[in-house]
Structure 1
């Protein structure tokens, strides 16, 4: 039921117990009804609120019949008269209103914090405008604007609208120097420094009337050397060059709260790349955590949880742990997902859960703990208006706090608090809890494990003391996870391979510490896919991709991939950055595809399509980039442009994790055409150079590695032919000179990059070549001869060698390509070849079943083992995955099915090509 429109008194639901009933009754004697009972209980336990109620007794008598929201609205209006006095009086009343609304159950916790924050906004804005107007009137500030471009950023709890009851306010004061003439800069800067100092005195000084807010300006850039107010340009340069992780974390909550709000919001918008980095330095997360530990050590807050005297903000299981839990996950994933950038702690927890970054039950639990701890924090501060977060040790104060918190005894209060702190610590710092409580397993201490782990300190990953210290904390949890694998020692060996591939460890170890779930994924990969574990050792940055909320969603198609890569490339500023950005992105998507296959989220055919879409997307994105780079010197491409024709597995969209690219470059331009640059080239030379540049862009080893190996031997005349061929020359060659095997290869060809019109022309040309009737007997004889030579050159030594041999993948591909030429079909798809009579329905079913089974095994083998699947090289987890993907109960049953498929399919092919 909504309480809107109801009076303060009618909304009171809780009445704290008075430790000093006589004092409580004395303070409340002029009141009546529920408000009198509330004030009596509150004043009987809170010295601070008792004093406020006495000072503001007349005002308090008017509160009962008013709506509390209306009262707050009036208090947050800029006051008349002397700001120093008026703001202090208003602050007393806001403190009394929010204290009673909090303890009386009139407002929930976060409405109380929002009310305090709202009043702080008004106080700062009113004070700043008053002082600026005085400076302008005195001729000390050359500005006609009432804010003079001056803005105050609220940081920390005030920025999030979460001020606690006796909180200080963390502020950064800036001015927009672009609003002033350059020659006035020095004068403006000096004046606004004066404004800031006067404002802090007005707001923070303790007088006979009290104070408004304690203020803290130490979050500004380099506070030991910079003035209290600095220009925005200077601040931006500092953050670009020297900004640290804790400052990025602080800016999550930053909000323009007073002065020139639009200028402040524009500044914060410019700060987004500093705060929200797509590729975060995970080691920097450790810096923030180290800082928290140093604060604890400095203040003596480490060690076991003892509720008496415990700091509910900074101590173990306290408010800061929940805030750190949320903020680190925001920093980690917020660069990729803008929905995670909520300034409030509870909003951050909710958005993290909604995005799948944390379990919903964790968000719910921490939300409850957070609001409860904030309630306790408020009540601690209500005792004496002290800026403290520590549970008192003094028995009288402790009893008063217990009463304000609604407990009948201090023992009950301390017991409940201790359990809550322990629960928070277990959720937010599980690594510490695990390290403190977990005994070593037999697996961790046996000789085989010790022999492997003893060599780790000498690996490059442990070269720095920091990396070694980080891993020392992680090791018990990782070894415990490895012990749970189906074959723990095999999983450990593969984890060892991962570690040996790491050039350095701080980054990835820090990530594992921040996201323990990634340890589970790595152990799963080590137990299932040693090749992928080694790949991760060389490319640990791909773990970034797991932070994306879409990582385990359905794999993207070509259109989605294109959109995503375009967004990545838009952020890169030069040619080399774009090549490296493409490599970084491709590795992340490739890793995602592999994990989907290993987890059974996607099947073999889906994965083949995804790997093929990924390659096509990269080629299509890089071709125009390469063209633009070449055009700077040699001009735009002559003629209609060039097209990349995909052959082989990319052409048929059947790529695996280790496939290279078989490509042909075709261009449509007259032979005498010239480019129009400062150094013009003829068409043949221009496109030959463009082709070589594209191959380099795809295959060169750069800082982010290589995209693909490229093979262009399927072009006309093979290695002896030009690397780029004109479309007319290509058509002429295929019609007059090409061998049968070249026409067979063309049955899988498709254009994947280049101008649409040229792609359509190439597609028509390829279709014409493969569908125009040829010498059927010659095609049949040549294909049979090729098959015979392949069988002689590659005799499979095992049933698990699926590529070469009778009835295996290459045999099926060759047969389907021959069928395409012989039946004049435009596709090598089995369904098309059935429809035109080349295959019977029964034959098509047999071949399709065999090919699907083999393709699935090959796809898994290429991800998990670099080459084909074989039970003797696969651990129990991989065998279990293979059986799940193929639908067989045992390896023996799978083996028998393969042998039956080989015999049946080989017989069909032999009969047709005879």
Structure 2
């Protein structure tokens, strides 16, 4: 490849005579080269001037590759003073500008290679100028404690490239946006002021070196106004001061600006460290959909200020800020990066086109939308370059007159100006349609349905009340809600029970403490409205939960939300990634709660939509609890150990009981726990405030239960029940391993052994966990008196019957009563205990195992299993959907439809009859089995 051999096309000379004169300077070059030169000079005044001044240099490099020519353009030669540096950089700028224009207009370089080369030169110019000016300050002893060796790290001074320079996307006549900082940690407190003064001088001189227009031209126009509070801060400020500013008063536009930030010169390592510290400011923990509204307000304000708010017309249209322009594409990408980058680091790219690809990979953009925007972005940037090549003006506006537009079309290589303008308009309109949400209005059908619904019954009164709620209190929230209202009412009117759906949406909105974030989210992704209305129609409990915890909506927008539920290992990896950067204990507690809520919400939605069975959901709910406890335990121990020392001996193990142990949890299950420790003979801990081993583990257990149950800013994690520990409420909250073994072998009641059948070790040091498992297994596999066990089970069953006898008459009471879940559980536990099946915790296969060993007949196993599974399904859906007891008469049509669909019943009466029938059959099996233990 060379500058003369790989030409693909050429511009057309608008001024033929001027083009021919320029081409004559390249008499020894090929006809293709002369055609390119003629088109450049004949259609762009600035390029004509460049060719006249640098034609000898370009001619000498026509046989070189473009990269070789670019490298030579950056060769400054001997430079012995700042003045000579200025001359050399300006000469390099002319040559780079000529080379980039030639390669751009001939098709040798694609447009984004041109922007990269322009950025490389800007980096080079800033680095060269900074080093020369700093060296002068150091020679004059103006930088405290600095020597020539410190110049490699610029004495702690770093220049951040912002905007298009940071992204490697400079335009042809671009100015450069810079922020200049210095690492104040390198200097003693007494020297910081002197260092700052030196760095301010260097910065001012650097700006003058780059931007002053001399007989040799200029290097780059420079802009330092993106620094913190530019009206009152020095042109170079400390990293510490910058961090404080962004922590306290940083705004959305500054967050967007830092997406593209990059150290381009000086102490780059310090610059990267600063940008790493800025990540939490730029990329928020929660999906920040309000950023979209901020961005559009920003672009509307710019357009209004610059008079660009009108329709798309080609003469004078601003390719950067006008409708459908470059800024719309960049804002479209950047707002989605702001929204999602806190959760997905793959979306934190600087380059626009690569970021579009990342958004597609992450499932945030459809490929065809990204392709349209990417194609338009390249073409827009090409047009922007053509406009700037004409006069080297930092403008983005298309010419207004006929001659200017004709020159532009010729420079672009179009003979048909009208066709060129049509192509421009079509592209601008396509971008605007995608990127501006205000460009679309709700479908007329949706609006009509909303109006019909609004005028029915008491709907109007309810809707009017919404405008007095906290969620709609601000003007911004009201504007967003007004935009959403037709879609909301239209979707509610389509629900199976519109009135009930309206009531539940009202409950959701009433509990919403603020509306801007949620309304922004729904406005940006209308499909979420479908899910919200579906939840309101089928799951009032979940709707109310969303009102209190709207942040869990973040999870819905993850690309895998509706995919298969993750297993425990995947959950553990995800939560670990959330927690690894954290050191503050309270933040850890909040983060575990936030993660836990999001994943539990996902499981609940899967259950409602039939994407997960009740068994899969129960296992997932248990995995979430397991992972949360395992994540919390080391943090609780570390926090506790700061005062009382490390745990004596081998530490503590957590045993999950009940539904947690059998992995059959529901959305509202609490945690049944037993805490077992092994001090290995150590009498006390060795911290600043030592405790006896028993007291240590008792207080550590209370600290752990507090970490689980105490409401933080993110609420409580779970309720905890420890009544299944040895001696129940009268026993210590944590029991030693020898004490646990002794109690279970000599003191435990039958019901405690039955309960232990469901025990599962969740967390603890590996060797201790193995010993606890072995201790449980030994207790369960020891011989048990079948007669006594049966007698005790019958007594327990009778006590439950006495307490909950009325439940038998209600087929929708699936937990209490004869033949219901607790009744079945008792029998299963009895069978496991008497048949030596306690080597592993009870699981979903327990009834099959009892049939396999002959303790249940196939018919008995079938009756028990089908009753258990149907009741577990009803219970699982009901616990997600309603608060308190479920009854179809009090549930909406939406929830009843979910239940009948998921249980395979034609209607609610069929399901009711089946529940009653299965309970009777199960009760009969249980009675038979208890008569013959």
TM bucket (normalised to shorter chain) is over 0.9
Tell me the residue number matched to 2:111.
Answer: 109
Q: CA deviation at 1:701?
A: 2.2
CA distance in 2: counterparts of 1:436 and 1:46, whole angstroms: 47
Tell me the residue number matched to 1:7.
Answer: 2
Tell me the residue number matched to 2:332.
Answer: 325
- Mapped contact 2:288–2:340 kept (Cα < 8 A): no
Counterpart check, 1:425 vs 2:442: no
Tell me the residue number matched to 1:837.
Answer: 854
CA distance in 1: counterparts of 2:363 and 2:324, whole angstroms: 23
Secondary structure of the residue aligned to 1:9 is coil
Tell me the residue number matched to 1:909.
Answer: 926
Change (3 A) 1:297 1:859: same
Tell me the residue number matched to 1:815.
Answer: 827
Bigger CA drift: 728-737 or 316-325?
Answer: 728-737
Secondary structure of the residue aligned to 1:28 is helix
Q: CA deviation at 1:181?
A: 5.8
Bigger CA drift: 834-843 or 242-251?
Answer: 834-843
- Mapped contact 2:629–2:763 kept (Cα < 8 A): yes
Tell me the residue number matched to 2:138.
Answer: 136
User: Which 5+ residue runs of structure 2 have no aligned equivalent?
Assistant: none
From 24, 28, 35, give the equivalent of 2:23. Answer: 28
Q: CA deviation at 1:539?
A: 0.7
Tell me the residue number matched to 1:507.
Answer: 517
Give the TM-score, by structure 2 length: 0.91
Counterpart check, 1:346 vs 2:353: yes
Bigger CA drift: 444-453 or 610-619?
Answer: 444-453
Tell me the residue number matched to 1:207.
Answer: 214
From 803, 809, 820, give the equivalent of 2:815. Answer: 803
Superposition pairs for residues 429-578 of structure 1, below 5 Å? Answer: 429-434=436-441, 440-445=447-452, 446-448=454-456, 449-483=459-493, 485-578=495-588
- Mapped contact 1:663–1:714 kept (Cα < 8 A): yes
CA distance in 2: counterparts of 1:100 and 1:881, whole angstroms: 66
- Mapped contact 1:332–1:547 kept (Cα < 8 A): no
Tell me the residue number matched to 1:87.
Answer: 89
* CA offsets 1:720-751 (integer angstroms, 9 cap, x no match): 44433344444444344433322222211122
CA distance in 2: counterparts of 1:779 and 1:685, whole angstroms: 35
- Mapped contact 2:658–2:758 kept (Cα < 8 A): yes
Bigger CA drift: 275-284 or 581-590?
Answer: 275-284
* CA offsets 1:825-872 (integer angstroms, 9 cap, x no match): 214322332332222345434533443333233222222234566554
CA distance in 1: counterparts of 2:637 and 2:686, whole angstroms: 13
Superposition pairs for residues 54-65 of structure 1, below 5 Å? Answer: 54-65=52-63
- Mapped contact 1:78–1:126 kept (Cα < 8 A): no
Tell me the residue number matched to 2:50.
Answer: 52
CA distance in 1: counterparts of 2:187 and 2:888, whole angstroms: 75
Counterpart check, 1:251 vs 2:253: no
- Mapped contact 2:324–2:431 kept (Cα < 8 A): yes
Counterpart check, 1:96 vs 2:98: yes
Superposition pairs for residues 489-888 of structure 1, below 5 Å? Answer: 489-669=499-679, 673-791=683-801, 793=804, 794-826=806-838, 827-828=841-842, 829-866=846-883, 871-875=888-892, 877-879=894-896, 881-882=898-899, 885-887=902-904
Bigger CA drift: 141-150 or 674-683?
Answer: 674-683
- Mapped contact 1:461–1:506 kept (Cα < 8 A): yes
* CA offsets 1:613-653 (integer angstroms, 9 cap, x no match): 21122233334433444444444444544333222111111
Q: CA deviation at 1:173?
A: 1.6
Bigger CA drift: 530-539 or 864-873?
Answer: 864-873
Q: CA deviation at 1:760?
A: 2.8
RMSD of the alignment, in Å?
2.9
CA distance in 1: counterparts of 2:447 and 2:268, whole angstroms: 57
CA distance in 2: counterparts of 1:693 and 1:685, whole angstroms: 12
CA distance in 2: counterparts of 1:104 and 1:308, whole angstroms: 26
Q: CA deviation at 1:398?
A: 1.8
Secondary structure of the residue aligned to 1:278 is coil
Change (3 A) 1:701 1:367: same
Counterpart check, 1:229 vs 2:236: yes
Q: CA deviation at 1:450?
A: 2.7
Q: How many residues align?
A: 909
User: Which 5+ residue runs of structure 1 have no aligned equivalent?
Assistant: 1-5
From 295, 298, 311, give the equivalent of 1:291. Answer: 298
- Mapped contact 1:173–1:230 kept (Cα < 8 A): yes
- Mapped contact 1:154–1:257 kept (Cα < 8 A): yes
Bigger CA drift: 431-440 or 496-505?
Answer: 431-440
* CA offsets 1:267-302 (integer angstroms, 9 cap, x no match): 333333333333465545543442222212211222
- Mapped contact 1:671–1:684 kept (Cα < 8 A): no
Secondary structure of the residue aligned to 1:644 is strand
Give the TM-score, by structure 1 length: 0.92
* CA offsets 1:44-97 (integer angstroms, 9 cap, x no match): 332322332233333343454332222112113344442222222222222222
CA distance in 2: counterparts of 1:360 and 1:688, whole angstroms: 57
Secondary structure of the residue aligned to 1:786 is helix
Tell me the residue number matched to 1:154.
Answer: 161
CA distance in 1: counterparts of 2:887 and 2:42, whole angstroms: 78
Change (3 A) 1:97 1:881: farther
Q: CA deviation at 1:323?
A: 1.0
Change (3 A) 1:765 1:112: same
Change (3 A) 1:901 1:400: farther
Tell me the residue number matched to 1:39.
Answer: 37
- Mapped contact 1:155–1:255 kept (Cα < 8 A): yes
- Mapped contact 1:857–1:868 kept (Cα < 8 A): no
* CA offsets 1:502-557 (integer angstroms, 9 cap, x no match): 11223323343455554444334334432212111101122233454554443333
* CA offsets 1:320-371 (integer angstroms, 9 cap, x no match): 1111111122122222222111110111111111122222222222111211
Q: CA deviation at 1:656?
A: 0.5
Q: CA deviation at 1:487?
A: 4.7
CA distance in 2: counterparts of 1:521 and 1:23, whole angstroms: 65
Secondary structure of the residue aligned to 1:153 is strand
Change (3 A) 1:153 1:692: closer
Bigger CA drift: 443-452 or 877-886?
Answer: 877-886
CA distance in 1: counterparts of 2:382 and 2:810, whole angstroms: 69
Q: CA deviation at 1:383?
A: 2.3
Secondary structure of the residue aligned to 2:108 is coil
Change (3 A) 1:60 1:886: same
Q: CA deviation at 1:132?
A: 2.5
- Mapped contact 1:45–1:403 kept (Cα < 8 A): yes
- Mapped contact 1:536–1:542 kept (Cα < 8 A): yes
Change (3 A) 1:854 1:218: same
Q: CA deviation at 1:477?
A: 4.2
CA distance in 2: counterparts of 1:876 and 1:458, whole angstroms: 29
- Mapped contact 2:291–2:339 kept (Cα < 8 A): no
- Mapped contact 2:19–2:40 kept (Cα < 8 A): yes
Bigger CA drift: 453-462 or 34-43?
Answer: 34-43
* CA offsets 1:754-787 (integer angstroms, 9 cap, x no match): 3333333332332233332222123223323433
Change (3 A) 1:372 1:895: farther
* CA offsets 1:796-819 (integer angstroms, 9 cap, x no match): 454443223343322221221111
Counterpart check, 1:123 vs 2:121: no
Change (3 A) 1:399 1:900: farther
